Structure 1
């Protein structure tokens, strides 16, 4: 990545505490025009350790309360809207579509390059599908850019989609994905019922439904094949040689219409399927179930949210050597950093 691919920092849609910069990625490998990614930062930017948030499917960064909490704890906060997602979606592009999870490597690497140039250490935090993407990317990064990978102090996974959630049907679904994903990658798939999750979080949190529709966005066979192939890379065990904290709910509540039970469970993924894969990510991998948490544990009701935040800051303090001191600032006007890189 060259410096000219970054556009200057500009005010972000979240308001005066945020700035964003666009990264030009060139032609989309799936033939959907020019691809871009968007790096967001909370201002003022401190000089201590940083976190880099990576969103999930049908998602974008909007969790201001998480950024504010970590900033108060002394951590610089950045977030990346991946290509075709949220702020990075462009006209006529299929929302969140990719035929290969490796297509996300350029923007993740460029974002880490930028953040690591300013901060002593970085901890990626990744949610749901973003968790699968981040794990595979970092495994690749350890070999492709070992000097950059060493700047990563640990990783936090928020209900990562590391395994399918359909139990005995998983082999059939994976087999169908291999066939349809190769023969008809653009075929739209029957929509999974995400209404319960969308309705649950919409009751308590504000987000832009243009970027995060309550019912989700269309999914395609080529995308599902990319996900299944990514999960297959994890089956034999994948050691990241990195401290990894995985936070999940303590229970799942799948395939049900919205009710009060939806507010205190993962209504998207099977948490018991996530646990063994998350634990296989290395000797320093730990899984912490958060009682009553939602699929995005940071969008949970107050008690579960408080525990998730406490677990997160405790982990960050440990892996960064408690370096976060909140010193230094380049100001909200970006005068000390006119471009993102």
Structure 2
């Protein structure tokens, strides 16, 4: 039997009761051996439909409330910790190291094979931030995939949030440089309050591993910038997606330098104007939803905002027959 179709060996997951994980193995890359991790949580009564969630940059799957919301609506929930992230990091690897977002296609494809083999006939593919960019392109590149029936994008990374002149002139040069010197690093310019706004031990309400989702990430490899920039160019030209698409974003972007209300009620990572602009360039059945007071990861927002996320999401899924 081909390795891609070998049933996974699930083990109990770190998230506790009902959560299981399986390690998936892939051919060596430029750093050596590669694995990713598939996490699942089954609904009390399966209806043959499932979710496959793809996390963002400097991230991993820990959003249990989201998984349980899907379970309550009859979806079996699956999430990937991509290669070099979270559960999947190996001792010889650099965290989050990627040179082309298409590297992740292998684990998405494998996960979908497994989900199909586990008696599902419909999948909602979803992703957050860089995972949203990756999921958009995967759906666009696999228009006849037998399982993917809809796409949900949580603050997808469709453009860099930086000064227009820097984005227009410096970014293409940095991207080209990243193909030659992938391990060179530049200041990340990530807002320092994002992780603080969500972690329970800091100023938020969620518990997660600060080694896997770091409080600060001062420098970013040029390879990541190049990989994202090249993927975004395809989005900017406009892609066609043959399944219904729901794009969600916060109602505002802010870049607070001090702790305050803005850090608790805004996307402090991406420009919501960019998300809307490029979501409108997707050809197909596309719905764009704005979430009042949403954080960058909308499902980690304050209670009223994330309740709005789930209300609109499941209403939309129902309207599309899922």
TM-score range, shorter chain: over 0.9
Which residue of structure 2 aligns with residue 228 of structure 1?
A: 229
SS at match of 1:25: strand
- Partner Cα distance (2:111, 2:17) in 1: 22
Task: Report the Cα offset of residue 236 of structure 1.
Answer: 1.5
- Partner Cα distance (1:173, 1:284) in 2: 34
* 1:97-150 CA-partner distances (Å, limit 9, x unpaired): 1111111111001111111232120001100000111111222223xxx3xx13
Which residue of structure 1 aligns with residue 126 of structure 2?
A: 125
Q: Which runs of 5+ in 1 are unaligned?
A: 323-341
* 1:203-256 CA-partner distances (Å, limit 9, x unpaired): 211111111111137420111111100001112110112211011000001253
SS at match of 2:282: coil
* 1:287-315 CA-partner distances (Å, limit 9, x unpaired): 10101000000000011010001111112
**Alignment check: 8 A CA contact 2:43 2:75 kept:** no
* 1:57-102 CA-partner distances (Å, limit 9, x unpaired): 0000000011111101111111011111111111131111111111
**Alignment check: 8 A CA contact 2:51 2:126 kept:** yes
Runs of 4 or more consecutive aligned structure 1 residues displaced over 6 Å after TM superposition: none
Which residue of structure 1 aligns with residue 158 of structure 2?
A: 162
The 1:115–1:7 alpha-carbon spacing in structure 2 relative to 1, beyond 3 Å, is closer
Greater shift, 64-73 or 189-198, is seen at 189-198
Aligned residue pairs, count: 314
Q: What is the aligned-residue RMSD (CA, Å)?
A: 1.7
Which residue of structure 1 aligns with residue 50 of structure 2?
A: 50
**Alignment check: 8 A CA contact 1:195 1:257 kept:** no
Which residue of structure 2 aligns with residue 22 of structure 1?
A: 23
Which residue of structure 1 aligns with residue 31 of structure 2?
A: 32
Is 1:8–2:15 an aligned residue pair? no
TM-score w.r.t. length of structure 1:
0.88
Greater shift, 185-194 or 58-67, is seen at 185-194
- Partner Cα distance (2:287, 2:31) in 1: 39
**Alignment check: 8 A CA contact 1:194 1:214 kept:** no
Task: Report the Cα offset of residue 317 of structure 1.
Answer: 2.1
- Partner Cα distance (1:220, 1:270) in 2: 21
